[in-house]
Amino acid sequence: MKSVYFLVLSFLIVTTSFSCRNMSLAKDEIKTDVSLNKQEEMVDFSEVRRLNRDLPLKEYMIISTFKETLKLYSELSDKKYNRSEPIPTLEENEFFLLLKPKLKKKFADIKVVKIERKGNVLRVYYKETDNNEYILNKQNDPILILRLKENTPSGIQLLLLNDKNNFK
């Protein structure tokens, strides 16, 4: 009888210690996932304007004031037309991100797939896409303006994705 109690008690101790070990592993895994999320946060963005014009612009520009927005829109305006594009305004903790990356494909457009923040740097993942209008008009200078509801970053990384890139 004592041996049965001893056997049952031993079994309970072993299973309890094993389940506690699994619980501590699960907690460690959760901590790791949380720390990864803190390092790389997804950033919401919306498209403000898309056009194709050969202008001497940088690969990207951060526009955080209305004065900078006015200057940019005066450069983007087409002198052939009397009316200009409406000039958007910025709210608190917002900025515009202008993208004009160098393309590998001819007559392509760009599509931003995702933006994530790593520290104080934004990583902008984009793809080059085919655009029939750009092919017909032989346009090779896509410009994309995005609105981001974030604090202004210290830097931007443009990362071109191709069909071989795999990411989540």
Same domain? 129 vs 77: yes
The pLDDT, as a whole number, for residue 8 is 55
Which distant-in-sequence residues (6+ apart) come within 8 Å of 26 by Cβ? none
Same domain? 149 vs 79: yes
Same domain? 90 vs 20: no
The pLDDT, as a whole number, for residue 18 is 47
The pLDDT, as a whole number, for residue 120 is 94
Task: Say how many domains are in the chain.
Answer: 2
Per-residue pLDDT tens over the stretch 24-69: 444 444 444 444 445 689 999 999 999 999 999 999 999 999 999 9
Q: Phi and psi for 97 in degrees, rounded to 5? A: -120, 115
Same domain? 86 vs 61: yes
The pLDDT, as a whole number, for residue 15 is 52
CA distance 68 to 65: 5
CA distance 16 to 10: 10
CB 63 within 8 A of CB 69: yes
Q: Which amino acid is at 157?
A: Q
The pLDDT, as a whole number, for residue 13 is 60
The pLDDT, as a whole number, for residue 34 is 44
The pLDDT, as a whole number, for residue 77 is 86
Same domain? 32 vs 47: no
Q: Which amino acid is at 36?
A: L
Q: What stretches in the chain show pLDDT beneath 50?
A: 18-37, 166, 168
End-to-end, the C-alpha distance of the chain in Å comes to 58
For residue 67, the enclosing domain spans 43-161
Which distant-in-sequence residues (6+ apart) come within 8 Å of 149 by Cβ? 44, 91, 93, 94
Contacts 24+ apart (CB under 8 A), 161-167: 161/113, 161/125, 161/126, 161/127, 162/127, 167/125
The pLDDT, as a whole number, for residue 78 is 78
